[in-house]
Amino acid sequence: MAAGRSYVLQDQIGHLLRRAHQRNTQIFLEAFEAAGLTPTQWAALAMLSQEGAASQNALGRMTAMDPATIQGVIRRLEERGLITREADPDDKRRTMLRLSPDGEAMTDAMAEAATSVSERQLDQLTASEREQLLALLRKVS
């Protein structure tokens, strides 16, 4: 390394997170290949399963997706019949998104695969290290 140059890419948080994300995406795609879901589509389905219903804006915030991304995700899930729209009883200007019966079946069927993605990503860590890593990631995100 040249004198005065102390930046080592392999030691930078962004680089390490990107590499971890690439590995996680590959594991996810292998586990979800048969279901034909992307990570963002699964995130939306999982959150709706968890929350019951949400507006498009709220779902985007809960899943950390920008408005354009969540709009496309919702459109594709709706086209597949995995989510439905209904009027919000508290605000007629807003529609609420819910899992359809097929969406519920999909999330139930894929929950174990989703858990296995995290397990495979973290398989080289002890239980204590897993907890520590997840706690630190929550803290910085």
pLDDT tens by residue, the chain, 141 residues: 565 588 999 999 999 999 999 999 999 999 999 999 999 999 999 999 999 999 999 999 999 999 999 999 999 999 999 999 998 888 888 899 999 999 999 999 999 999 999 999 999 999 999 999 999 999 999
Per-residue model confidence (pLDDT) at position 68: 95
Instruction: Give me the residue spans of the domains in the chain.
Output: 10-121
Residue 71: other Cβ atoms inside 10 A: 13
CATH topology of domain 10-121: Arc Repressor Mutant, subunit A (1.10.10)
Decide: residue 107, CB within 10 A, 0-12 exposed, 13-18 middle, 19+ buried: buried
State how far the alpha carbon of 103 is from the alpha carbons of 1, 63, 67, 100, 130, in Å.
53, 17, 22, 5, 30
Which residues share a beta bridge with 85? 97
Encoded tokens for 5? 């140059």
